């Protein structure tokens, strides 16, 4: 007799199986530590490119790869000043 258990809500759970013969079996299930960003349900890595940052988009509840744009012009040279 085989028993299949699927855990969907809590990745760090303890599953107990109690067969008809009253003996007891227990299995501990721990989350995987070797996952990629694309495996996370709230991260969208489609069409990601070098230099992009993950930005939270409230419209879809996900983090998406986005190119950040600044309003500061490029600085080629600094003459004097205190830093």
Structure tokens at 1: 């007799």
Q: Is residue 31 part of a domain?
A: yes
Q: Is residue 77 part of a domain?
A: no
Q: Is residue 29 part of a domain?
A: yes
Number of domains in the chain: 1
Q: Is residue 62 part of a domain?
A: yes
Q: Is residue 21 part of a domain?
A: yes
Structure tokens at 75: 């600085």
Q: What is the mean pLDDT of the chain?
A: 74
Residue 45 has what pLDDT? 86
Residue 24 has what pLDDT? 59
pTM, 2 dp: 0.45
Q: What is the 3-state secondary structure (H, E, C) of the chain?
A: CCCCCCCCCCCCEEEEECCCCCCCEEEEECCCCCCCHHHCCCEECCCCCCCCEEEEECCCCEEEEECCCCCCCCCCCCCCCCC
The per-residue pLDDT for range 63-82, each reduced to its tens digit, is: 999 988 766 666 667 777 77
CA separation (Å) from 4 to 16, 17, 26?
12, 10, 13
Q: Is residue 25 part of a domain?
A: yes
Q: Where residue 22 falls among pLDDT bands split at 50, 70, 90?
A: low
The per-residue pLDDT for range 23-40, each reduced to its tens digit, is: 655 666 666 677 888 888
Q: Is residue 72 part of a domain?
A: no
Domain extent for 40: 13-66
């Amino acid at each position: 007799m085989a028993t299949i258990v699927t855990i969907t809500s809590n990745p760090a759970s303890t599953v107990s199986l109690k067969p008809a013969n009253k003996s007891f079996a227990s299995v501990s299930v721990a989350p995987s530590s070797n996952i990629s960003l694309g495996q996370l349900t709230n991260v969208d890595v489609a069409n990601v490119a070098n230099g992009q940052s993950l930005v939270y988009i409230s419209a879809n509840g996900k983090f998406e790869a986005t190119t950040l744009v600044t309003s500061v012009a490029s600085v080629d040279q600094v003459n004097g000043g205190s830093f």
